[in-house]
A and B are shown apart, each in its own frame.
Chain A
Amino acid sequence: MPVLTRLLGLLLVLVVLGWLVFVFVTGTPYALQQLVNGVTLGMIYGLIAVGYTMVYGIIGMINFAHGDIFMVGAFLSLIALIALSSLGVTSVPLALALTLLFAAAIAALYGWTVERVAYRPLRGSFRLAPLISAIGMSITLQNFVQVSQGARVKPMEPLLPGGISLLNDPDFAVQLSWMQIAIVVTTLAVLGVFTWIVTRTPLGRSMRACEQDLKMAGLLGIDTDRTISLTFVLGALLAAVAGLMILLYYGVIDFYIGFVAGVKAFTAAVLGGIGSLPGAVLGGLLIGLIETFWSAYFSVQYKDVAAFSILVIALIFLPTGILGRADVEKV
């Protein structure tokens, strides 16, 4: 990288850090609240981003239907929660656990179907073909949900009202809601299990082998088609968890939420370094924080613009993303 670009990048990082220090010093409680909100949102983006990065790692293509799997997960969660409450399940943790299982299982089926219908028949064809069919899947899913569930926004009452106040300042109390705690804890737990699967189990090893050399994985007796399917399934599971989280966090969903969240999570995956799993989570956190801080201090209308501008700027200075690989491989 030329010296000038590097200097500019460094300068930019310093300006942002300086501004952050300034807002934290001048208005600590308010800034702290933004940090809490940003981390919560970022966790959700991170969950979705992992699915993008995993599929990209293994087949070198973006799964354009992934955001819509997330949307389907949110709808499945809503359906499950309503069904459970009408069945008389009053315990919130139990309802959440059952909903999580239900949404994840059905969304996994959707993920598997997307791969089977939009990707596998086109394996070995020209590169653009599966991208087009995946966009087709995305449109199909959106319209399917729009027709079957209606186009209107679906509201949901808060499941876990209240929370704890950190730092009770006379002007501004920093609220940490139970919901935020639940989101962060669940996300961390899910990511923990997921990391264990990828790094420690034979399935995870096969996935990494397919990601690094698909042909060689086949030569070692790995059923590569099955491994690719399972990658889509795992990604869909995480997206469904994110769908439940967004439903709990915002309390409203519609058939279109998959698009914006998908684009943002994809941005997170690229920012973190596409193909890198920790990178996806880190990128998600950064996008969540950027969006939240921008909304809090500048303008809510331009929060998406801010998130995407940061991506463009970051890619100028770090073309492979933050944790993207540039490691030397001997041939």
Chain B
Amino acid sequence: MTAPLLSLSGVTAFYGAIQALKGVDLDVREGEIVTLIGANGAGKSTLMMTICGNPRARNGCIQYDGAEITGLPTHDIMRMRIAQSPEGRRVFPRMSVYENLQMGAQVTGGRDFAELLAQVYALFPRLQERAGQRGGTLSGGEQQMLAIGRALMSRPRLLLLDEPSLGLAPLVVRHIFGAIRALNRETGLTVLLVEQNAFQALRLAHRGYVLVNGAITMAGSGAELLGRPEIRAAYLEGSH
């Protein structure tokens, strides 16, 4: 088996004096969709941000594509074809949809911009309709599409998706999850997906991890985790 594309071992992270991650081990192999599920405040978003170096991991090691990235500044990590659609979407509110997408492509120096833009517009036609509108005036679902589209504009190898379904109508969630699956199948995009909507996430993912209180408590294939009674009790009751 080849080395994983992304590998975390013993990663800890702190927000001030609060320890948010307590030694996390996690692997994502090239071409996989891996999901990380857990309750509010378990440290899922912190884990995503720690991969990107903000906050920086205090202990442990993060490896990407065979090289250690633990101590690199955020902008250098993001130039290694890792992209994140972060918690809260963080669309630039006073930039147009088009400019937001341009920002996504800034790391690549504008290479293949037209082609990537066409791809994103094909995936989310709504963004094309709203190209001139300011990010801050979009609806929640449109902002989510924009955040994902912006992340895709850098032609990432590894896409970190933080709660893409949060606050969205079921139909939009289905559309976004369908888009993730299509990207993974067609382009081999590797995805690390954080979700509270555990049922849908585990059905989509090849593998999953369960994060409780800053530590991984369970790991396994999506189907395997879906079948576990303790997962059903903790994360799936009434969620589907």
Whether A212 and B106, one on each chain, are in contact in the complex, defined by CB atoms closer than 8 angstroms, is no
Asked if A206 CB lies within 8 Å of chain B CBs, one says yes
Contacts of B106 in A (CB 8 A): 202, 205-206, 220-222
**Bound Cα distance A140, B73 (Å):** 32
Q: What are the interface flags for A184-219 relative to B under an 8 Å C-beta threshold, 1 for contact and 0 otherwise?
A: 000000000000000000100110110011011111
Asked if B75 CB lies within 8 Å of chain A CBs, one says yes
Residue ID in chain A nearest B167 by CB atoms: A331
**Bound Cα distance A330, B73 (Å):** 30
Whether A220 and B86, one on each chain, are in contact in the complex, defined by CB atoms closer than 8 angstroms, is no
Within 8 A of B (CB), among A277-331: 325, 327-331
Whether A328 and B90, one on each chain, are in contact in the complex, defined by CB atoms closer than 8 angstroms, is no
Whether B104 and A327, one on each chain, are in contact in the complex, defined by CB atoms closer than 8 angstroms, is no
14 contacts between A and B (CB under 8 A): A202-B106, A209-B95, A213-B90, A215-B54, A216-B92, A219-B74, A219-B84, A222-B75, A222-B106, A223-B73, A327-B93, A330-B136, A330-B137, A330-B138
Residue ID in chain B nearest A227 by CB atoms: B75
| Residues of B in contact with A (beta carbons under 8 Å apart) | 52, 54, 73-75, 78-79, 84, 86, 88, 90, 92-95, 99, 102-104, 106-107, 110, 136-140, 143, 150, 154
Contacts of A220 in B (CB 8 A): 78, 103-104, 106-107, 150, 154
Whether B138 and A218, one on each chain, are in contact in the complex, defined by CB atoms closer than 8 angstroms, is no
| Residues of A in contact with B (beta carbons under 8 Å apart) | 202, 205-206, 208-209, 212-213, 215-224, 325, 327-331
Whether A330 and B143, one on each chain, are in contact in the complex, defined by CB atoms closer than 8 angstroms, is yes
Whether B136 and A205, one on each chain, are in contact in the complex, defined by CB atoms closer than 8 angstroms, is no
| Nearest 3 interchain pairs by C-beta | A221-B107, A221-B78, A329-B136
Contacts of A209 in B (CB 8 A): 92, 95, 103
Contact of B95 among A202, A208, A224 (CB under 8 A): A208
Whether B78 and A327, one on each chain, are in contact in the complex, defined by CB atoms closer than 8 angstroms, is no
Nearest CB of A to B143, in Å: 7
Nearest CB of B to A318, in Å: 20
Whether B94 and A327, one on each chain, are in contact in the complex, defined by CB atoms closer than 8 angstroms, is yes
Nearest CB of B to A123, in Å: 13
Whether A212 and B95, one on each chain, are in contact in the complex, defined by CB atoms closer than 8 angstroms, is yes
Nearest CB of A to B69, in Å: 13
Residue ID in chain B nearest A199 by CB atoms: B99
Whether A208 and B92, one on each chain, are in contact in the complex, defined by CB atoms closer than 8 angstroms, is yes
Given the interface pairs A209-B95, A212-B95, A221-B107, the reply to whether A328 lies near B136 with Cβ below 8 Å is yes
Whether A221 and B102, one on each chain, are in contact in the complex, defined by CB atoms closer than 8 angstroms, is no
Contact of B78 among A202, A208, A212, A219 (CB under 8 A): A219
Contacts of B54 in A (CB 8 A): 215, 218-219
Residue ID in chain B nearest A215 by CB atoms: B54
Whether B93 and A329, one on each chain, are in contact in the complex, defined by CB atoms closer than 8 angstroms, is yes
Nearest CB of A to B176, in Å: 18
Residue ID in chain A nearest B95 by CB atoms: A208
Whether A205 and B74, one on each chain, are in contact in the complex, defined by CB atoms closer than 8 angstroms, is no
Whether B143 and A205, one on each chain, are in contact in the complex, defined by CB atoms closer than 8 angstroms, is no
Contacts of B107 in A (CB 8 A): 220-221
Contacts of B138 in A (CB 8 A): 330
Contacts of A222 in B (CB 8 A): 75, 103, 106
Contacts of B84 in A (CB 8 A): 219
**Bound Cα distance A206, B75 (Å):** 12
Contacts of B95 in A (CB 8 A): 205, 208-209, 212
Residue ID in chain B nearest A217 by CB atoms: B103
Contact of A208 among B94, B110, B137 (CB under 8 A): B94
Contact of B99 among A205, A215, A218, A221 (CB under 8 A): A205
**Bound Cα distance A221, B54 (Å):** 12
Whether B74 and A212, one on each chain, are in contact in the complex, defined by CB atoms closer than 8 angstroms, is no
Whether B139 and A330, one on each chain, are in contact in the complex, defined by CB atoms closer than 8 angstroms, is yes
Given the interface pairs A220-B104, A222-B106, the reply to whether A330 lies near B140 with Cβ below 8 Å is yes
Contacts of A327 in B (CB 8 A): 93-94, 136
**Bound Cα distance A328, B136 (Å):** 8
Whether A221 and B93, one on each chain, are in contact in the complex, defined by CB atoms closer than 8 angstroms, is no
Contacts of A205 in B (CB 8 A): 95, 99, 102-103, 106
Whether A221 and B79, one on each chain, are in contact in the complex, defined by CB atoms closer than 8 angstroms, is yes
Whether A216 and B90, one on each chain, are in contact in the complex, defined by CB atoms closer than 8 angstroms, is yes
Nearest CB of A to B95, in Å: 6
Contacts of B137 in A (CB 8 A): 328, 330
Nearest CB of A to B32, in Å: 22
**Bound Cα distance A224, B76 (Å):** 11
Whether A223 and B102, one on each chain, are in contact in the complex, defined by CB atoms closer than 8 angstroms, is no
Contacts of A330 in B (CB 8 A): 136-140, 143
Contacts of B90 in A (CB 8 A): 213, 215-216, 219
Nearest CB of A to B194, in Å: 14
